[in-house]
Copies of this chain bind each other. A is one copy, B any other.
């Protein structure tokens, strides 16, 4: 059995969505355990989440500085720290870790100013630390496939890149901003000089760079602040010129009604085109010059080995399968807990498929076989 790894977390306290996603992702891989954290500035919240997550009291740290020093000093210190604070704290938290020789995984955007990033790079190099940034959408199998197809020359020399990332789920929140009720994403001191451009725009920028290797030469950008009360952009439109002659357009918006999280990137070469739509991340559209467009499917035998190695569920089972299973277990565990607590349990009320449903299924397929054996005749089921 391979040695299990250990990690800690900065930020990600009670109610923080992205911290929970990081933890769930690491649990999926099942090779590292969360052993410490500096989850919040509020001691009560920290205590609560440490108890929930099974973290020992002495590894519930009040701040990232303290955590960095203490973990660096331990024999059994963490293998890396995950940083999921508001953007403005990414830099000091990552710096503290690196200075103490601890590897870092930071949420994106990396920090607020590029100079901060270069500073981190200098320290990481000096200390020999590893550093990852969770631009999530490069983690999809089909993002890896796209990158490999570009590297393999399948679409030829790249000419244009069209990237867009419209959303509307923050629409109500962004339009009711008041002095007292301002999400941190809309506060320059916490978020940096940009909101949508930093939060969403960098996803386009990174995905394109990751997949194509293209470097931006120059850009022209318009930022809009729609609605009342906002001080940071919620709609971003940019023309982009890449080194080497390719051009492109990037658009991202938080006020695009009817769009959930619709990252879509199209890369046009002189031999073909690749289209990736994040909300349909099991697929990649590949069009070759003079040929009918094709839809590549995650897990299929024709994928490149570089992408195939990230396939978790075999061909034909979409991502999201695990979540569906998990929901059934959530229901079942609830029934188990209620039963243990002595409550009256009616299994039909919990949502998981019951024994009776199991019996119905067996009845069903046996009746199907009966019908078939009788020449596809009609048979009575119940």
Cβ–Cβ < 8 Å partners of A219 in chain B: 364, 367-368, 371, 378-379, 381
**Contact, CB under 8 Å: A247 / B273:** no
Pick out which of these stretches binds chain B: A56-64, A68-76, A178-186, A333-341. Answer: A333-341
A231 at the interface (CB under 8 A from B): no
**Contact, CB under 8 Å: A364 / B282:** no
Cβ–Cβ < 8 Å partners of A314 in chain B: 17, 169
The interface size bin for chain A is 35 or more
CB distance from A335 to the nearest CB of B (A): 5
Could you tell me the distance between the alpha carbons of A312 and B323 in the complex, rounded to whole angstroms? 8
**Contact, CB under 8 Å: A376 / B221:** yes
A93 at the interface (CB under 8 A from B): no
CB distance from A311 to the nearest CB of B (A): 10
Could you tell me the distance between the alpha carbons of A313 and B148 in the complex, rounded to whole angstroms? 29
**Contact, CB under 8 Å: A138 / B353:** yes
A253 at the interface (CB under 8 A from B): yes
Q: 1/0 per position for A343-372, CB-CB distance to B under 8 A?
A: 001010001111111111111111111011
Cβ–Cβ < 8 Å partners of A132 in chain B: 328, 331-332, 335, 347, 352-355
Could you tell me the distance between the alpha carbons of A198 and B48 in the complex, rounded to whole angstroms? 46
Contact pick for A118, options B135, B336, B345, B359, CB 8 Å:
B359
CB distance from A176 to the nearest CB of B (A): 13
User: Which among A144, A328, A336 has the highest number of chain B CB atoms within 10 Å?
Assistant: A328
User: Which among A110, A216, A286, A357 has the highest number of chain B CB atoms within 10 Å?
Assistant: A357
Contact pick for A292, options B238, B286, B358, CB 8 Å:
B286
User: Which among A24, A52, A215 has the highest number of chain B CB atoms within 10 Å?
Assistant: A24
**Contact, CB under 8 Å: A355 / B120:** yes
Contact pick for A293, options B248, B294, B312, CB 8 Å:
B294
**Contact, CB under 8 Å: A114 / B193:** no
Could you tell me the distance between the alpha carbons of A251 and B379 in the complex, rounded to whole angstroms? 17
Given contacts A114-B366, A132-B353, is CB(A315)–CB(B217) below 8 Å? no
A29 at the interface (CB under 8 A from B): yes
**Contact, CB under 8 Å: A239 / B257:** no
**Contact, CB under 8 Å: B54 / A1:** yes
Contact pick for A134, options B171, B256, B325, B381, CB 8 Å:
B325
**Contact, CB under 8 Å: B226 / A241:** no
Cβ–Cβ < 8 Å partners of A327 in chain B: 139-141, 144, 310
Cβ–Cβ < 8 Å partners of A110 in chain B: 355, 358-359, 361-362
Q: In the complex, which residue of chain B has the Cβ closest to the Cβ of A372?
A: B223
